[in-house]
């Protein structure tokens, strides 16, 4: 009886000291691309910016899903990757670099066409 009580008390003390988190910090491998196109309707943003970006981004290796939302003057694209994606993938020297160049080209084209 005394042994059982001792084990229970020690178990409760050990459980109180365990670091437990209900919401552990997990890096979600998602990249969001936000674009703005001042004074443009949602359809224009979709056709002139989102569609070319989406077509280019679909070529990125390891992409599991791509979602986009367009609205007047802006859009956002969400790129999802597997949880096994390496951390370097989300740095400046990532496979997303060609897309960054495409964004600069689209920005220049939009600025020229006003």
CB 66 within 8 A of CB 50: no
pLDDT, position 61: 75
pLDDT, position 44: 92
* 69 pLDDT above the threshold of 90: yes
Q: Give the CATH architecture of domain 26-113.
A: 2-Layer Sandwich (3.30)
pLDDT, position 58: 82
Q: What is the mean pLDDT of residues 81-98?
A: 62
Q: What is the mean pLDDT of residues 99-108?
A: 65
pLDDT, position 87: 56
Residue that wins the pLDDT comparison between 2 and 50: 50
Distances from the Cα of 27 to the Cα of 57, 79, 90, angstroms = 21, 14, 11
When pLDDT is cut at 50, 70 and 90, the band that residue 70 belongs to is: very high
Q: What is the mean pLDDT of residues 3-30?
A: 79
Distances from the Cα of 60 to the Cα of 13, 50, 96, 99, angstroms = 50, 16, 7, 9
Q: What residue segments make up the domains of the chain, in order of their start? A: 26-113
Q: What is the pTM of this model?
A: 0.59
């Amino acid at each position: 009886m005394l042994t059982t009580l001792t084990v229970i008390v020690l178990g409760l003390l050990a459980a109180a000291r365990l670091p437990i988190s209900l919401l552990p910090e997990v890096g979600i491998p998602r990249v969001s691309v936000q674009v703005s196109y001042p004074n443009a309707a949602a359809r224009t943003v979709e056709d002139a910016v989102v569609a070319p970006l989406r077509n280019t981004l679909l070529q990125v290796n390891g992409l599991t899903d791509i979602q986009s939302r367009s609205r007047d003057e802006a859009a956002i694209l969400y790129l999802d990757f597997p949880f096994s994606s390496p951390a370097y993938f989300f740095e400046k020297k990532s496979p997303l670099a060609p897309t960054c160049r495409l964004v600069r080209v689209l920005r220049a084209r939009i600025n020229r066409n006003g």
